[in-house]
Structure 1
């Protein structure tokens, strides 16, 4: 368990602020989580998990999804922009894009499953707590997930007035304002409103015309009502809206094949140095995201101690991109992108038995519907033929192509988990889940428009590459069981040992792309992903509860691992996006989390992981660009090779110290270091897509002091102190080249917060 302390202030009933003073002792506080759909001490739960308090996230200036990997073991966040955002856990689930495929790791916000990880890429606003559970979680959480769950809880409305406002400014034009107001509306109704706005100029400068990318504006608001007429019933209504208008998602050249260099010279382009993090493009680049939703959670305390919970939710997500896909300053590809609209509806019902008996349990039912439409378009420029084929025959020049697709998902599940307290110290846990899922889809590409009149032979070649087709309706259905067996033994009050076996399944997927020439819609259907895992771990506290040490060993086997890649074919010079069941995967390793409070006011945290993630069998795999540019139909054997996006070593360290100078003055310091080793960036295991290992240093310091009826918190901070150039994700582009999304450079700033 990772515990990060916070030295903020809390309002009392008279709306006065009580400053936090160092305690006489140095004991760690207990952390309550809802990982098993009950409120429990995190140290009592026999599973690997990391908990981050909202206050700790604020202290470390972590407010973006991609920054969470700097404080979590065994977690990788592949991020370029909201559509290309995915969480991998223990090396499983590094799938970047796929409207017809769910992530292996699920993301929940206030008990609502999000259809895609990118729906959580808004600023993490007014967070109460974030829990990262590793391993299959289908027997308690609504949607079946195979790799893990990121469970985020926002702060509830309070019946005691709370208000805060914070302003931050920094380099690259960074400016953020956020605030929250909470308090009673009547004796049994409370409300909360939180809002933010973030803008910056971007940190990637375009060599062609001086534009800056990876910047822009984000803003959002969340409103809540909490109705508590008595101690046995509560009703919480949440609605939110977020939007983004930015240049995020700019891709820079990560690795270049010989063909890419030849073709860029052929069209007179000025390519950037591979791996430099620089860009040089002439086309348009922007994204817009509009998203929001509403949820209603009701909790009834029934007779005999039972609790009934209902969570009803609706969410929508609309993504609109414009990309210069050729990464050059010449008109090969003018504009390319996939517009996506997703609507999701969910209903979850849970019944929890009373605690304190020999046997307790949670039963649940989950209904989920998702409708996703995508519109893909590409506008080719006057040099498209030379760039894509090496010959100016007019097949692609000045041609536009459009493709529409949709996928509808219906999911129904029943789940249950029970705990047998065999003795005062020995517990046996068993869980089961059954999921039935249907997916219905269609892909339609329209005839190309524009371009020159061609001879019959060349027109036939254009139609073969860009011609109209319609798959009609097709789909899949599947039944996916999940299960859990766990045995835990409390050696004493401060030491828990556990062993568990789990099985998780994720239903089949659909590739919303054009079928490879010669194949029909059946080639777009991907089989389910099945995972078996075993875990052995301990959770312990020492030195009069000032030291906490949690560790575990794990083994995971995955059959039919679902992944996405882009590959070349003999029929097309363009890389084809494909989904595949990438053979059999094994993940094994160890995780360690240590929290120590040696003296009052000082908290030290260390977590790390070793993940050995390998393809046990992956024959007939897509080949890297170095091979396909010479032989477009080649197939490769990746058996024994590392899995995409899985760093073998991850380590994170953090220290927080706060002291009291008297008169309400409390200085504090934060320092953190995050390291991850090198990883392969794409499924084809190309040397050109390797992401080098890197370490990041973040520092902050400030002082809290009383002011009027509240408390002021002023701080200075710097992220990526050493100005390390690093990449968050990689992808294949034309001509055997690979692009990457570069992380944020060194950035310093100041923040001022007022709680009152």
Structure 2
């Protein structure tokens, strides 16, 4: 198979450009015109058409209409954005890719800096125990997805882009709202909002939401649990108009997510235990045929329990000449989980983890308020992140030299990351039509990773009734230990080499942008900018420190040329951009899979061993990589009742120079291979009809979303075939939205994946039962809303 496997001929998808969408938050301002879209991408309210940034925006009405609840819901409709759903992080776990830029895969959650930032009310929530954050989307005012480096406007570094979420603020009106929803798979939702003005200048808002479901997959394994979940979200916010110039906002958010098994099914067998294994397909799969879309065979009642807490204090001064903003935030999160690591119906290997993360930051910004020629913003940030992971791999049944109850590996990983940054930009209005933006960011980052309590099960056991030399008992083990096949079951040996790694880096990233209002309808902009991902390190005691990673900073140079227009008397809005991004020292993950010998040593595996497989992830710098592409989006009114949107994203992202990728004990040339999670074509479209019958307003909307085939597992390559081992097929899905609104009430129907596209695969993993993929059957939800005004 060729290196460009799965990349569809772009010409053959020319028709698909008519099936794409911008999915913007625009609603009718008056008959025959589109309402102005206001965004805060540059930390001040501006018209979308005036901002020289590629943005996809969703307003409150759009979020409500499409019942957007997770990042997966809005990312589908965003050009050149893709994602994979990660079962080990719960139902809402995912890895996001923007223009081919994604977080490192297969590495520990505490290993690497994120490639983009997620902000809720201007505070970065990117440091989370889950990995990639996926905030709740209830009672939201605005949602923006920004593509390209954004470090001159945002507090934390944003190499690939940013997701900017703005919640609805407390107001001076008494307001209440109740939402009730019911759907298939025993899905139930309930939510409520209460806004209360305490005094004439002090207001509070309480938001509560809960969602439960049995999930789409039935587990037929013995005692293996189900794919159910229970999510809770509470936010309490206060707003205080202190004086004419001063105001303060404070919010406290608590999120709880409890889930059982990830909704994955097996699509094929690839035995990892060789011909001498006593396992067989019948035991592994509970007698199921492969490619079943609603049944799984798991023997362990796994779970993933997440707790997130965020405190956010914003203080703002707006004077006659300048303004001042202070953002103080603290986020804490914990994730506890038990995974059926082998993924089959035989008790073999489980993984038990608990992760915790804490992040605090202080951001200050000064900005101009009175100049008509120069608009400026300068700011600074200090931050500190602390992350901890406790991991155990538990042997449930005899596996080579290991016995039931042994911990193949156990460790505690602590990472501390801290840094500071200065950033700013100046908008120089050269004329009424021409604006030059000059900005820059200086960053300083430092991190240290320490592994402690690192042990491996004793593979070299003594005969008779004594432990082998170098082996000790775990605290929970008692003597006499059981003897199996003449050998003692139990004991562990400490791993003390390669337990510490650290690195630091500094960087200056400039940004230049030119915005030209050609006339009242057309705007052309050009951007040259750079982005930066900090250097890092990853310890690796499992290999005696031999595979520890110390990697350099990553540098990105982005060039973009775009056009924005309002046509047809304001009835049509168009946005298009072409871009070219080039990386130096691109950070990527490679994986070596070893076989642990009886004496505890590691050797490369050849796929035919009855041993413990030890995957060791290494973070490397590919000397160069690139991502080129273009984006198009159109939103238009078709008469008084019809509305349509289309858009399209094309992406060519690959390793340019990566001759020495370390894979399975040797070097592999990945030059020319596509970057992970970077589909060549993404497209989506919608058609909406609005109508009125008496006192009832209604709408019907149909969306379709397309994504090309994509390589999900970037760190493993089959050298003999010259390809990645698993490629998710291309898919398109159709979603239906319909609703009625009358007298402060609303009834809405949401149907996702109406066409039941079975190729809709957004995540994959491997186990004894082969490749496991996440399923997305047709789901529907009927939702009733009541509002007091």
> Would you say same fold, with TM above 0.5?
yes
Counterpart position of 2:677: 645
State the distance in 2 between where 1:608 and 1:460 align: 64
- Structure 2: runs of 5 or more not aligned: 1-20, 473-490, 596-601, 604-612, 718-722
The change in CA–CA distance for 1:580 and 1:727 in structure 2 (over 3 A counts) is: farther
State the distance in 2 between where 1:398 and 1:618 align: 42
Decide which of 413, 416, 425 is 2:421's aligned counterpart: 413
Q: Superposition pairs for residues 515-664 of structure 1, below 5 Å?
A: 515-517=542-544, 519=546, 523-569=548-594, 571=602, 573-623=613-663, 632-662=664-694, 664=695
- Structure 1: runs of 5 or more not aligned: 8-21, 386-393, 624-631
Secondary structure of the residue aligned to 1:43 is helix
**Could you report, residue by residue, the CA deviation over 1:509-535 in whole angstroms, capped at 9, with x for unpaired residues?**
333654534617xx2322212111100
CA contact (8 A) 2:223 2:299 kept: no
State the distance in 2 between where 1:472 and 1:611 align: 40
The change in CA–CA distance for 1:171 and 1:265 in structure 2 (over 3 A counts) is: farther
Secondary structure of the residue aligned to 2:523 is strand
Secondary structure of the residue aligned to 1:67 is helix
CA contact (8 A) 2:85 2:763 kept: no
Decide which of 447, 461, 464 is 1:439's aligned counterpart: 447
**Could you report, residue by residue, the CA deviation over 1:185-208 in whole angstroms, capped at 9, with x for unpaired residues?**
101001100010000001112232
CA contact (8 A) 1:540 1:548 kept: yes
State the distance in 1 between where 2:725 and 2:241 align: 58
Counterpart position of 1:690: 727
State the distance in 1 between where 2:588 and 2:262 align: 20
> If the length of structure 2 is used for normalisation, what is the TM-score?
0.85
State the distance in 2 between where 1:60 and 1:264 align: 50
**Could you report, residue by residue, the CA deviation over 1:487-524 in whole angstroms, capped at 9, with x for unpaired residues?**
1211001111011111110102333654534617xx23
State the distance in 1 between where 2:759 and 2:645 align: 24
Q: Superposition pairs for residues 14-93 of structure 1, below 5 Å?
A: 25-81=31-87, 82=89, 84-93=93-102
**Could you report, residue by residue, the CA deviation over 1:598-627 in whole angstroms, capped at 9, with x for unpaired residues?**
22343222222001111101123254xxxx
State the distance in 1 between where 2:545 and 2:498 align: 13
State the distance in 2 between where 1:185 and 1:455 align: 76
Decide which of 526, 530, 533 is 1:503's aligned counterpart: 530
State the distance in 1 between where 2:213 and 2:224 align: 13
CA contact (8 A) 2:29 2:35 kept: no
The structural deviation recorded for 1:424 is: 1.5
* 1:332 counterpart = 2:348: yes
Counterpart position of 2:478: none
Counterpart position of 1:310: 326
Larger CA deviation: 531-540 vs 464-473: 464-473
Larger CA deviation: 143-152 vs 356-365: 356-365
Counterpart position of 1:151: 164
Counterpart position of 1:713: 746
State the distance in 2 between where 1:103 and 1:273 align: 39
CA contact (8 A) 2:225 2:300 kept: no
CA contact (8 A) 2:659 2:668 kept: yes
* 1:161 counterpart = 2:174: yes
The structural deviation recorded for 1:263 is: 7.1
Larger CA deviation: 324-333 vs 613-622: 613-622
> If the length of structure 1 is used for normalisation, what is the TM-score?
0.89
State the distance in 2 between where 1:263 and 1:166 align: 57
Counterpart position of 2:251: 238
The change in CA–CA distance for 1:362 and 1:218 in structure 2 (over 3 A counts) is: same
Counterpart position of 1:16: none
CA contact (8 A) 2:224 2:299 kept: no
The structural deviation recorded for 1:687 is: 4.1
CA contact (8 A) 1:33 1:41 kept: yes
Decide which of 101, 109, 121 is 2:120's aligned counterpart: 109
TM-align CA RMSD: 2.8
State the distance in 2 between where 1:307 and 1:412 align: 22
* 1:291 counterpart = 2:308: yes
State the distance in 2 between where 1:220 and 1:491 align: 46
Secondary structure of the residue aligned to 1:563 is strand
Counterpart position of 1:222: 235
* 1:301 counterpart = 2:318: yes
Secondary structure of the residue aligned to 1:249 is coil
State the distance in 1 between where 2:617 and 2:470 align: 20
State the distance in 2 between where 1:261 and 1:752 align: 55
Secondary structure of the residue aligned to 2:102 is coil
Decide which of 272, 276, 279 is 2:296's aligned counterpart: 279
State the distance in 1 between where 2:467 and 2:625 align: 44
State the distance in 2 between where 1:693 and 1:701 align: 27
Aligned residues: 716
State the distance in 2 between where 1:154 and 1:273 align: 46
Secondary structure of the residue aligned to 1:99 is coil
State the distance in 1 between where 2:576 and 2:289 align: 42
The structural deviation recorded for 1:182 is: 1.2
